[in-house]
Amino acid sequence: MTEYRNNILALAQPMLQPLECESVLDFGCGDGFFAKNFAATLWPEKITPLDVYKRPNCLVDPVIYSGDTIPFNDRQFTLTYAIDVLHHCASPEASLLDLIRCTDRYLFIKDHTYSSPLGYAALCILDELGNRRFRIPSLYHYQRRWDWIKLIESHGMRRVALQPAVPVHTGLLGAMTNGLQFIGMWERI
Protein backbone atom coordinates (compact mmCIF):
# COMPACT_ATOMS: atom_id res chain seq x y z
CA MET A 1 0.00 0.00 0.00
CA THR A 2 2.83 2.42 0.76
CA GLU A 3 4.39 2.02 -2.71
CA TYR A 4 0.97 2.66 -4.25
CA ARG A 5 0.44 5.82 -2.20
CA ASN A 6 4.01 7.02 -2.79
CA ASN A 7 3.42 6.61 -6.54
CA ILE A 8 0.25 8.70 -6.28
CA LEU A 9 2.15 11.31 -4.27
CA ALA A 10 4.89 11.45 -6.91
CA LEU A 11 2.30 11.96 -9.66
CA ALA A 12 0.23 14.52 -7.74
CA GLN A 13 2.95 16.79 -6.39
CA PRO A 14 4.10 18.23 -9.75
CA MET A 15 0.48 19.09 -10.59
CA LEU A 16 -0.19 20.65 -7.20
CA GLN A 17 3.14 22.33 -6.47
CA PRO A 18 2.61 25.44 -8.67
CA LEU A 19 -0.71 26.24 -6.97
CA GLU A 20 -0.86 29.06 -4.46
CA CYS A 21 -3.38 27.86 -1.92
CA GLU A 22 -4.64 29.73 1.11
CA SER A 23 -6.75 26.80 2.24
CA VAL A 24 -6.99 23.13 1.23
CA LEU A 25 -9.62 20.45 1.95
CA ASP A 26 -8.57 16.79 2.01
CA PHE A 27 -11.91 15.05 1.43
CA GLY A 28 -11.84 11.54 2.89
CA CYS A 29 -8.40 11.89 4.44
CA GLY A 30 -8.26 8.30 5.72
CA ASP A 31 -5.16 7.85 7.86
CA GLY A 32 -3.89 11.31 6.86
CA PHE A 33 -1.04 10.14 4.61
CA PHE A 34 -1.70 12.68 1.85
CA ALA A 35 -2.60 15.56 4.19
CA LYS A 36 0.59 15.03 6.16
CA ASN A 37 2.79 14.74 3.07
CA PHE A 38 1.23 17.72 1.28
CA ALA A 39 1.50 19.78 4.48
CA ALA A 40 5.19 18.90 4.76
CA THR A 41 6.03 19.76 1.16
CA LEU A 42 3.41 22.15 -0.21
CA TRP A 43 1.06 23.88 2.22
CA PRO A 44 2.07 23.82 5.88
CA GLU A 45 -0.86 24.46 8.25
CA LYS A 46 -3.31 25.09 5.41
CA ILE A 47 -4.88 21.64 5.04
CA THR A 48 -8.18 20.68 6.65
CA PRO A 49 -8.55 16.88 6.73
CA LEU A 50 -12.14 15.58 6.60
CA ASP A 51 -13.51 12.07 7.05
CA VAL A 52 -16.45 10.11 8.44
CA TYR A 53 -14.40 8.68 11.31
CA LYS A 54 -10.91 8.94 12.76
CA ARG A 55 -8.79 5.89 12.11
CA PRO A 56 -6.51 4.43 14.76
CA ASN A 57 -2.97 5.79 14.38
CA CYS A 58 -4.20 8.63 12.18
CA LEU A 59 -1.39 10.98 11.15
CA VAL A 60 -3.67 14.06 11.31
CA ASP A 61 -6.63 15.20 13.37
CA PRO A 62 -9.58 15.15 10.94
CA VAL A 63 -12.84 17.02 11.11
CA ILE A 64 -15.45 14.28 11.43
CA TYR A 65 -18.77 14.56 9.60
CA SER A 66 -21.77 12.34 8.79
CA GLY A 67 -20.87 11.67 5.16
CA ASP A 68 -23.78 13.76 3.91
CA THR A 69 -23.19 17.47 3.31
CA ILE A 70 -19.61 18.70 3.71
CA PRO A 71 -19.71 20.99 6.79
CA PHE A 72 -18.00 23.98 5.19
CA ASN A 73 -19.08 27.12 3.37
CA ASP A 74 -19.42 27.58 -0.37
CA ARG A 75 -16.05 28.29 -1.98
CA GLN A 76 -14.25 28.10 1.37
CA PHE A 77 -11.15 26.29 0.05
CA THR A 78 -8.71 27.36 -2.65
CA LEU A 79 -8.21 23.66 -3.42
CA THR A 80 -10.29 20.61 -2.62
CA TYR A 81 -9.00 17.14 -3.34
CA ALA A 82 -10.19 13.55 -3.07
CA ILE A 83 -7.75 10.69 -3.54
CA ASP A 84 -9.34 7.25 -4.00
CA VAL A 85 -12.38 8.34 -2.00
CA LEU A 86 -15.35 9.13 -4.21
CA HIS A 87 -16.09 5.50 -5.09
CA HIS A 88 -16.58 4.82 -1.36
CA CYS A 89 -19.35 7.43 -1.09
CA ALA A 90 -23.01 6.44 -1.10
CA SER A 91 -23.48 8.85 -4.01
CA PRO A 92 -20.17 9.81 -5.63
CA GLU A 93 -21.94 12.33 -7.85
CA ALA A 94 -23.56 14.12 -4.88
CA SER A 95 -20.24 14.14 -3.02
CA LEU A 96 -18.48 15.48 -6.10
CA LEU A 97 -21.00 18.31 -6.44
CA ASP A 98 -20.54 19.11 -2.75
CA LEU A 99 -16.76 19.22 -3.25
CA ILE A 100 -17.24 21.62 -6.16
CA ARG A 101 -19.48 23.76 -3.93
CA CYS A 102 -16.66 24.05 -1.37
CA THR A 103 -14.02 24.76 -4.04
CA ASP A 104 -13.08 28.36 -4.67
CA ARG A 105 -10.52 27.66 -7.39
CA TYR A 106 -9.05 24.14 -7.86
CA LEU A 107 -10.36 20.58 -7.72
CA PHE A 108 -8.00 17.59 -7.81
CA ILE A 109 -9.28 14.01 -8.12
CA LYS A 110 -7.50 10.65 -8.14
CA ASP A 111 -9.88 7.75 -8.54
CA HIS A 112 -10.89 4.91 -10.86
CA THR A 113 -12.80 4.54 -14.10
CA TYR A 114 -13.91 1.56 -16.16
CA SER A 115 -15.63 0.86 -19.45
CA SER A 116 -16.17 -2.91 -19.43
CA PRO A 117 -17.52 -5.61 -17.11
CA LEU A 118 -13.98 -6.97 -16.74
CA GLY A 119 -12.67 -3.56 -15.66
CA TYR A 120 -15.48 -3.25 -13.13
CA ALA A 121 -14.74 -6.72 -11.72
CA ALA A 122 -11.02 -5.90 -11.44
CA LEU A 123 -11.81 -2.71 -9.50
CA CYS A 124 -14.14 -4.60 -7.14
CA ILE A 125 -11.45 -7.17 -6.38
CA LEU A 126 -8.73 -4.55 -5.90
CA ASP A 127 -11.00 -2.48 -3.67
CA GLU A 128 -11.78 -5.45 -1.44
CA LEU A 129 -8.12 -6.47 -1.18
CA GLY A 130 -6.97 -2.92 -0.51
CA ASN A 131 -9.66 -1.76 1.90
CA ARG A 132 -11.26 -4.66 3.76
CA ARG A 133 -8.39 -4.92 6.26
CA PHE A 134 -8.94 -1.25 7.19
CA ARG A 135 -12.69 -1.82 7.63
CA ILE A 136 -13.43 0.59 4.82
CA PRO A 137 -16.63 -0.42 3.06
CA SER A 138 -16.35 -1.05 -0.66
CA LEU A 139 -19.54 0.25 -2.27
CA TYR A 140 -18.34 -0.37 -5.85
CA HIS A 141 -19.51 3.05 -7.10
CA TYR A 142 -16.78 3.55 -9.69
CA GLN A 143 -16.89 6.11 -12.45
CA ARG A 144 -18.03 4.57 -15.71
CA ARG A 145 -16.85 5.92 -19.06
CA TRP A 146 -15.80 9.29 -17.63
CA ASP A 147 -19.25 10.23 -16.30
CA TRP A 148 -17.76 12.20 -13.41
CA ILE A 149 -15.66 14.28 -15.79
CA LYS A 150 -18.82 15.39 -17.61
CA LEU A 151 -20.44 16.23 -14.28
CA ILE A 152 -17.46 18.29 -13.09
CA GLU A 153 -17.20 20.21 -16.35
CA SER A 154 -20.93 20.95 -16.46
CA HIS A 155 -20.69 22.66 -13.05
CA GLY A 156 -18.36 25.56 -13.66
CA MET A 157 -15.02 23.78 -13.73
CA ARG A 158 -12.52 23.83 -16.60
CA ARG A 159 -10.17 20.90 -17.10
CA VAL A 160 -6.52 21.79 -16.50
CA ALA A 161 -5.15 18.25 -16.71
CA LEU A 162 -6.45 14.72 -17.06
CA GLN A 163 -4.13 11.76 -16.96
CA PRO A 164 -5.79 8.42 -17.70
CA ALA A 165 -3.92 5.16 -17.23
CA VAL A 166 -1.98 6.43 -14.22
CA PRO A 167 1.05 4.24 -13.35
CA VAL A 168 0.35 3.65 -9.65
CA HIS A 169 0.95 -0.11 -9.67
CA THR A 170 4.06 -1.85 -10.98
CA GLY A 171 4.71 -5.17 -12.68
CA LEU A 172 1.89 -7.45 -13.77
CA LEU A 173 -0.64 -5.72 -11.49
CA GLY A 174 0.23 -2.40 -13.12
CA ALA A 175 -0.04 -3.84 -16.62
CA MET A 176 -3.50 -5.17 -15.75
CA THR A 177 -4.94 -2.25 -13.75
CA ASN A 178 -3.19 1.08 -14.36
CA GLY A 179 -5.66 1.73 -17.19
CA LEU A 180 -8.40 1.83 -14.54
CA GLN A 181 -6.75 4.73 -12.67
CA PHE A 182 -6.89 8.46 -13.41
CA ILE A 183 -5.76 11.81 -12.03
CA GLY A 184 -7.45 15.08 -12.95
CA MET A 185 -7.24 18.76 -12.10
CA TRP A 186 -9.88 21.41 -12.73
CA GLU A 187 -10.08 25.16 -12.17
CA ARG A 188 -13.23 27.17 -11.57
CA ILE A 189 -14.26 29.22 -14.59
Instruction: Report the SS3 class of residue 82.
Output: strand
What count of Cα atoms within 13 Å lies in the side-chain half-sphere of residue 79? 24
pLDDT band of 1, cuts 50, 70, 90: low
Interval 35-42 mean pLDDT: 92
| Residue of 45 and 71 predicted with greater confidence | 71
Say which CATH class 2-188 falls into: alpha beta
**pLDDT of residue 136 exceeding 80:** no
> Domain boundaries in the chain?
2-188
Q: Which of 112, 108, 85 is nearest to 30 (CA)?
A: 85
Interval 89-94 mean pLDDT: 95
pLDDT of amino acid 187: 98
pLDDT of amino acid 154: 98
pLDDT band of 106, cuts 50, 70, 90: very high
Q: Which of 58, 62, 109, 55 is nearest to 84 (CA)?
A: 109
Q: How far is CA 113 from the centre of its chain?
A: 13
Q: What does the mean pLDDT of the chain come to? A: 93
> CA–CA separation, 106 vs 59, rounded Å?
24
Residues of the chain by 3-state class (helix, strand, coil), percent to 5: 40, 25, 35
For helices 33-41 and 2-16, what crossing angle results, to 10°?
40
Q: Which of 78, 104, 105 is nearest to 160 (CA)?
A: 105
Interval 24-47 mean pLDDT: 93
Q: Is the pTM of this model over 0.85?
A: yes
Alpha helices in the chain (DSSP H): 2-16, 33-41, 92-102, 117-131, 147-153, 171-177
- Over pLDDT 90: what percentage of the chain? 81
